[in-house]
Chains A and B, each alone.
Chain A
Amino acid sequence: MLIFWIVAGWVGFALLPWYGVEDFWFLEWVTDGWPTDSDYAPGAFLLGQGEKPWLWPLVPALLAPLLVLQRRKTDPVFAYVLLAAGGFGFAWLVAQGLGIGIRGWTADWLTALFGPLEDRQYGMGYGALIVASAFLFLFTQGIAARGAINGDVFVTGAIGGVIAVVTIFVFFPIAKMLVAAFITEEGGYSVVLFFSKFFDARIWGLGCLTGTRCGVAWNSLFLAVLVGVLTTLLGLVFALVLTRSGFRLKRELRAITVLPIITPPFVIGLAIILLFGLSGAVTTWVADLIGVRPTRWVYGLPGILIAQLLAFTPIAFLVLIGVVEGVSPSMEEAAQTLRATRWQTFRTVSLPLMRPGLANAFLLGFIESMADFGNPLVLGGNYDVLSTEIFFAIVGAQYDQGRAAILSMVLLGFTLAAFYLQRFWLGRKSYTTVTGKGDAGVHPEMPRGLAIPVYIIAALWGTFTLIIYGMILYGSVVQLWGVDNTLTFKHYITAFEIRLEDGGIRWIGSAWDSFWTTMMIATVAAPLTAAVGLITAYLLTRQDFAGKRSFEFGTMLSFAIPGTVIGVSYILAFNVPPIEITGTGLILVISFIFRNMPVGVRAGIASMSQLDRSLDESSLTLGANSWQTFRRVILPLLRPAILAALVYSFVRAMTAISAVIFLVSARYDMATSYIIGRVENNDYGLAIAYSTTLIFVMLAAVGLLQLLVGRTQIGRRLAHEQGGG
């Protein structure tokens, strides 16, 4: 391993272009002036030509590890040299990257200290990236050689790697955004300006109490609380029907409730316009019936609320079904044998044990609603919320990064507050009811008084969901909704037309570009997300190291950060050197990885804590090292978690909009942002046709993933029947 990273360091330094090269993988740079052209030159050649002298200190850091190659690992000099070389190299690389930018020194005090700098540098490229990784892993090998974590190179490397990427792609952008909130138009820093923008009446105004309009912060908060509470209730209703009733069509009900997850969020908003908009079916019908003019009543709070409930109830449902099923039947049976009636059992045992699920479901609904961008944009009317306001601050005529940053801080503040309130509410009580022991009981059915309203709500909401999806399908095959209802495949043809010409296929439909980009990015992002998530989960469940708690918090942080905030902070952080990746496909992939990673972590932790530690230990005593153990024993047993992480990150990459809308470029347009564009042009037919196609593509992809990952063949007997002769 040591040799590998030393060689990698030198390859990165002496062969690969040091600075970012557009279309690196087309390899045009190889014939286009490399290695001497300073745009494409490796670090070593730049130094040789007398350019970029601030890279000189990297040379001794790269040379030093060569000196200890022959030494034994246990030699203190070995560890010391690696620590010093790796640590210094990495720190210097970061410092020069942050200190020197497109216009020379990036800060006035640097100019004052070192005098003006004539040279400049752009964003780092693959050369710098590989050198940085080499330094990082040399450093972690030094730590391992000092004896940390039993001298395990794989584990120290994994910890170092995860900390580095989370810092760069989660903490750094957020910090950058916080700083941006203080920057004035002239580029100075001003606290006064910050406060004047922060306490703007457009954010915190309470006009709605007196008849005018309220600030966006209150609008968002009100909406999010409403959505959080209602999605939790609806989710609970469906979970109860599925687990505590004799309902027959459970499989079908489950399918309906999960359908919205693979639907781009604002598609539901579109369907609502088709139903309740000015020329919507329901609106015109009711207006005809009672003889009034149709109105735009649905635009604003009612519309957003309905759309978000439809979109986010499945998430609450998925959280709650796990918890509702997880309440051990023997607890409920015990309560019943202690003379509690069904209703008393439900109220005193089942419901309190579901508390963590309820809290989580509310939190998710709250955060999703706060971050939701598509539905408020489509249905918001005059009801402004934070996420759309942030978008217009960046994209609109005002172009005010500071304002966007401040609004993002408010948004982040709300979600983090909700996060902590939830933890506080759950407190330290243990709600664990699933133990390793077999539990043969059966869940009791709901008490009657509860069952009737639950059935009614479930039936109504289920029907409503079906109608909405009917609308989506139907809307995609009519000429012009509400005006000309003749059936046509026109929209599909416009979007996905293919012509066979000159023995080749020409993709002339207008949607193909964004479709292939989306597929490609989702396909690249999904396995990476799963990998980062599962390795993190492995570190959190199987290894002990200093600072594990804060490590866990850091990896979960991006979950509490709304996508809109991620989008804004990525623009602010990665538009300038040292990491200059806005407008590339890479930034989309990275944003997906860090947005969806927490789900991989959670899924991994959940399944890994069910694997007995003695499995790892026996592998270790049989001579496998921790990497071999991870690959041969843990990974194969984690197939369900891998599948969950893959499916989730793939689907999210296809349907996400909130962060994506800030990060797309003309070259890398994603399906969702393309559809939003069509909606803004009132081109509903095409938008809906495209969305319907995406839904079917995702269904196919999920099926395919299931086939690829396969099932783990473990007999259940193993856990429970070790006694039999």
Chain B
Amino acid sequence: MATVSSKAASVVFDHVTKVYGKDVVAVNDVSLTIAPGKLVTLLGPSGCGKTTTLRMIAGLEMATKGRILIGDKDVTTLPATDRDVSMVFQSYALFPHMTVLENVSYGLKFSGFSKAETLERANAGLSLVGLDGYGGRLPSELSGGQQQRVAVARALVLEPQVLLFDEPLSNLDAKLRRHVREEIREIQQNLGLTVVYVTHDQEEALAVSDEIVVMKNAAIAQIGRPRELYDAPADTFVADFIGEANLVECQIVAVEGDMAEIEVGGIRHRLPSRGLRPGKAMLALRPSRIRVTEDEGLAAAVEKVTYVGPRMEYTFAGDFGQLFAVSDDVDAPLKVGDAIRIGLAASGPVLVPDA
């Protein structure tokens, strides 16, 4: 019985630039190393160049400048057909005129496998994604989630050096999304695949990735493990994009060692300086880390209250501007107009450079 295994390889971008037409720069001088067997997410708002980066790994777009290496082999000018990479498309791109089994066998046919082996491998792929017995159906006879799994199986059975996902969950409903993303992560871990995954959903990225590459305006804004990005964003863009941090202007009054003392809205607070010098800076406050206290803290008023089921969402207004906060206490919610004080917890608030 054939099984699906992996030939995971690394991906290296060496100062890669992609220009469309004459002067539309989609990817600007990106350098990047993806280690074998890791799941790396390209995250960013639409138009940031993440999909172009992915398509350059696939060989569907050719880099204008720079080198691309897959498993230490220079593939910069190699077209998609000749690269050992497969891709799961946002629309799945299942061939509508072929059955599920024909779809999954499609790539195997061009890889020089015998008929028997093609069939065996395709069936192994289908059973890996839990679709045994669905081989004879047409894609149109499957549900969205099943189509998605066929697309994954079709890419997996080729045992590619790198497996690419282009927003694979965007066509699924919210409930299915969590389930499928866990499945993808599980298969990736079990087989030790190198996976590059594009998404614009930060929660999805945090959930599945070994490492996240945040992109902005055709360049890399920050690379790091999920926790690093969340707890130590490099700039206000990353802080805002990952975890919707509230950004509040503050003043660093003194730096001692690696601790800084800041002043914001008339109160003082001590926290890690992260290499910043005294002067203006930004304080990133996660919505879930905002504590409402009775006595000390920033004075604010409750401006908006929204009940969303498992938690409450609030907008507080004060001298510092507006803050978005969430609270698990749905039994005794605050009311619009309540005067409150916001305390800064010892861990949670992070300093970021003033952009």
Contacts and interface: CB of A to CB of B under 8 A. Distances in A.
A707 interface: no
Contact of A621 (B58, B91, B139): B58
A721 B77 contact: no
Interface string A186-230: 000000000000000000000000000000000000000000000
Nearest to A617: B60
A713 B147 CA distance: 17
A150 B79 contact: yes
Interface in B133-166: 138-141, 143-145, 147, 151, 154-155, 158, 164
B143 A621 contact: no
- How large, as a class, is the contact surface on chain B? 35 or more
Interface in A580-622: 612, 614-615, 617-622
B80 interface: yes
B93 interface: yes
Interface stretch (B168-176, B203-211, B302-310): B168-176
A719 to B, nearest CB: 9
A713 B98 CA distance: 9
A682 interface: no
B140 A151 contact: no
Contacts, number: 109
Contact of A614 (B77, B91, B111): B91
A637 B94 CA distance: 12
Contacts of B6: none
A150 B80 CA distance: 9
Contact of A725 (B106, B141, B145): B145
B59 interface: yes
Nearest to B96: A714
Nearest to B95: A633
Given A150-B79, A725-B175, A619 B96 contact: no
Given A617-B89, A725-B176, A715 B141 contact: yes
Contacts of A721: 144
B93 A152 contact: no
Nearest to B85: A621
Nearest to B99: A713
A626 B80 CA distance: 10
A50 interface: no
Contacts of A714: 96-97, 138, 140
Nearest to B139: A718
A99 interface: no
B140 A718 contact: yes
- How large, as a class, is the contact surface on chain A? 35 or more
B89 A622 contact: no
Contacts of A621: 58-60, 80, 83, 85-87, 155, 164
Centre residue among A147, A633, A637 by max chain B CB count within 10 A: A633
A152 B60 CA distance: 13
B87 A617 contact: yes
A70 interface: no
Given A621-B59, A621-B80, A623-B111, A614 B97 contact: no
A617 B106 CA distance: 13
A593 to B, nearest CB: 28
Contact of B107 (A624, A712, A716, A725): A624
Contacts of A722: 91-92, 144, 147, 171-172
A503 interface: no
B21 to A, nearest CB: 11
A624 B79 contact: no
Given A617-B60, A722-B147, A724-B143, A152 B95 contact: no
Nearest to B111: A623
A717 B172 CA distance: 15
B59 to A, nearest CB: 7
B140 A715 contact: yes
Contact of A622 (B90, B158, B171, B176): B158
B56 interface: no
Interface string B94-127: 1111000000001100110000000000000000
B81 interface: yes
A637 B140 CA distance: 14
Interface string B247-290: 00000000000000000000000000000000000000000000
Contacts of A615: 93, 95
Contacts of B141: 715
B43 interface: no
Contact of A623 (B62, B90, B93, B110): B110
A483 B140 CA distance: 64
Contacts of A147: 77
B62 A150 contact: yes
B138 A715 contact: yes
Nearest to A151: B79
A638 to B, nearest CB: 10
Contact of A723 (B77, B97, B172): B172
A622 B59 CA distance: 11
A665 interface: no
A76 to B, nearest CB: 13
A625 interface: yes
A623 B151 CA distance: 15
A628 interface: yes
A723 B140 contact: no
Contact of A620 (B79, B90, B97, B145): B79
A633 B138 CA distance: 15
Contacts of B91: 612, 614, 722
Contacts of A712: 96-97
Interface string B56-67: 001110100000
Nearest to A614: B93
Given A614-B89, A614-B90, A620 B80 contact: yes
B110 A612 contact: no
Contacts of A612: 91, 93
A524 B144 CA distance: 44
Contacts of A637: 95-97
Contacts of B155: 621-622
Interface in A42-93: 74
Contact of B110 (A614, A624, A713, A725): A624
A116 interface: no
Contact of A716 (B79, B90, B140, B143): B140
B89 A715 contact: no
Contacts of B59: 620-621
Interface in A699-722: 712-718, 721-722
A470 interface: no
Nearest to A714: B96
A625 B78 CA distance: 12
Given A623-B107, A713-B138, A715-B96, A617 B143 contact: no
Nearest to A613: B93
A302 interface: no
Interface of A: 74, 147, 150-152, 612, 614-615, 617-626, 628, 632-633, 636-637, 712-718, 721-725
9 contacts: A151-B77, A151-B79, A614-B91, A618-B93, A618-B151, A621-B59, A621-B80, A637-B96, A725-B145
Q: Which 6 A-B residue pairs are closest in the complex by CB-CB distance?
A: A715-B140, A622-B107, A618-B93, A614-B93, A620-B80, A714-B96
